[in-house]
Structure 1
């Protein structure tokens, strides 16, 4: 087909495997791209308002309900923010347990996204369900790994979703050593499944499109930063304290989106697995570094489709790092610690990495120890701007060489590659090409 005749109008409704309501609007006329927009049309959810008047210890358990997938991350980020506002310093045991809980969430989410949401795109399936017939062992493997990750979270946090063991200053109920040892044994037994996961992803054909951007993540000198660190930019090769997060996110609004957008040193920046691997490759577990090489992920990598590959690298990192942390916890012996706290006035911010990127929470408390101000900035609201910038860069390059169907698929794949959490309810994506 002559690219100069490409004037498209395409509507794709109810596309699954994205979380929430988002519309992609693309105008092409006679082979020329006139408009590319990613429109988020979700209503505001007002979770920050829910916290007004709450006591410090109540907030982490409430705001964890923002998301059913990243509930652990919301709980940990808010816990750190509340503790900063209250001047609370936690023990090394509490930090260790929180890191283990957080990495259990990474295993849960990355396995879910790679197998159930991303892989179908690369094998031409509309969802994971047809794969149960054509690739039954792949689906069984995915379910085994997901079940293991779910059980890991349940052992650490008391239940698979919205765990209740973590609290201010420490742990309400310590994980049972025998059950923790069982998780360790299952992680070791799962190593062949992880090797097969690498093989599956290695067989996928990743679209070769790149756009240089700024990558933002936590960074720590001594570890792969998922729980602690400064807010680091790949552009400046330096970081700022978490308390200065607003200087990073610089939120603003656009007319075609109900979510806020973010930017730092460029027009946009990216967060998530690829950002973390780019910024912190040297701190990855050696096995994860080897897997990155086997999967062709060389840093710096500017191909957003490779975020799915970076997720697999993080699965390997979290599996091996969890084995080491479980051994440390078992050998050291877990001890009950006092968690009583008297609320006071103060303000504090906290951040952790969640599967989709860096997550910020901030809370202020009045003289009565009641919450009077709150703010949460999730990874997807930081990524939306960057996703649209990718689309604007890629559509003109794809248009001359792709059919309408291929271009539509690649735009959906691009959005899904970021593993967006547009909302926690309805799954829908509209793609429009208007004449």
Structure 2
């Protein structure tokens, strides 16, 4: 038996990624998850830039996770410059992250994954069979866009979020209207979940135990604040470089990462496995529709974990808005900031997982050095290891079916490949 799976490029993911599998004489000779996309040099772009510009520049790393990059950058700058912010600022930032998570997860599940469950080429084909279901996805996405506009200033690349606070604030009237829209969104999400559950058996029954890493904090399901926690070793309170151990592979312009195993996973399923006990009641209700319980070792269920998180994001958004409606919302002025030399690290959970920004700032307030650890970077090795276990289990199936299942595996991770590509420093030594 000879088979060659050569996918250039995987569709319905952000960026360019290839799958290469070679089987000869019933032996697997090669399995590769390749990233050929050109590096984007953001760590070099921010060098010598003033601290106040870093969040605006780094938001351009990703149009889908621009709020997350902005807030991670802001947290890193505030850490370097020893800036403290009010509880109100933290709550508004959390609300912005909830908006982004709903926006991104609804896009991924509804437009990129749903066609696989229907056996269709794209969401347009799904519309021909179930228009109402696709309309529900669109409504959820529109809801998230409106919440992003309200809190962050616009849907993509926020303009309201600032080092030290906010440049502008939503009105209480706008927040109350938004609360009612979110309540309606809960109904839409529940209806969508019941419809999706009918097709959940179209996900492959595949399991591989791995390490999961996510922010964790007692009593909450954190996105903005927390300490990294491993499903293998517990809390990771040291230098992040001790667990996000990045390394280079020949077939990828994006770095891979590992901790105590050869790979680990970040993202919705990792957060669910580590923090599910702290989910809201509505989120637990959505998880029960799919019988999703922690620990779950099936990466295809990452999409279900995303739906569960949308439910949690909605519930927490309503709680935050209620707090503002009851206690008021002050238009706090951004404090005067005096630049100083320092190093700051910011960590935030974005839709695809743990995001880390690390800056060194000089006494003029300019960035001297930056290191950005992207969620998809941390997932690349896990995708590779999943493929290495999955291919032997399905190698006797028809070639087209193997190809489709491997593409579904990659899509399950919701990779943002363009975000993950890095520049590499190369030194060449000539020998005479």
TM range (shorter): over 0.9
Structure 1 unaligned blocks of 5 or more = 426-435
Which runs of structure 2 are paired with 1:198-209 in the superposition (5 Å)?
198-204=193-199, 205=201, 206-209=203-206
Give, in whole Å, the separation in 2 of the partners of 1:335 and 1:384.
43
How far residue 250 of structure 1 moved from its aligned partner, in angstroms, is 0.8
**Paired position in structure 2 for 1:428:** none
Task: Please list the CA deviations of residues 112-162 of structure 1 after superposition, one character each: whole Å capped at 9, or x if unmatched.
Answer: 000000010111111101122221111111111111110000000111111
Give, in whole Å, the separation in 2 of the partners of 1:92 and 1:424.
30
**Paired position in structure 1 for 2:235:** 238
Give 3-state SS (helix, strand or coil) of 2:19's partner: strand
- Counterpart selection for 2:154 from 141, 155, 159: 159
What is the aligned residue count?
417
- Counterpart selection for 1:386 from 382, 391, 394: 382
- Residue 292 (structure 2) pairs with residue 282 (structure 1): no
- Residue 353 (structure 2) pairs with residue 353 (structure 1): no
Structure 2 unaligned blocks of 5 or more = 421-432
How far residue 193 of structure 1 moved from its aligned partner, in angstroms, is 0.8
Which runs of structure 2 are paired with 1:337-352 in the superposition (5 Å)?
337-339=332-334, 340-352=336-348
Give, in whole Å, the separation in 1 of the partners of 2:251 and 2:232.
28
**Paired position in structure 1 for 2:226:** 229
Give, in whole Å, the separation in 1 of the partners of 2:247 and 2:29.
24
**Paired position in structure 1 for 2:58:** 63
TM-score by length of 1: 0.94
Give, in whole Å, the separation in 2 of the partners of 1:14 and 1:87.
44
CA shift in 2, pair 1:219/1:424, >3 Å: closer
TM-score by length of 2: 0.94
How far residue 377 of structure 1 moved from its aligned partner, in angstroms, is 0.8
CA shift in 2, pair 1:360/1:407, >3 Å: same
Give the alignment's Cα RMSD to 1 decimal.
1.3
Residues 182, 314 of structure 2: 8 Å contact kept = yes
Give, in whole Å, the separation in 2 of the partners of 1:114 and 1:124.
14
Give, in whole Å, the separation in 2 of the partners of 1:223 and 1:14.
39
Q: List structure 1 segments (4+ residues) > 6 angstroms apart after TM superposition.
A: none
Give 3-state SS (helix, strand or coil) of 1:118's partner: helix
Residues 9, 16 of structure 2: 8 Å contact kept = no
How far residue 10 of structure 1 moved from its aligned partner, in angstroms, is 3.8
Residues 271, 356 of structure 1: 8 Å contact kept = yes
Give, in whole Å, the separation in 1 of the partners of 2:137 and 2:371.
35
Give, in whole Å, the separation in 1 of the partners of 2:124 and 2:88.
42
Bigger relative contact order, structure 1 or 2, given CA contacts below 8 A and separation 6+? Answer: 1
Which runs of structure 2 are paired with 1:58-137 in the superposition (5 Å)?
58-137=53-132
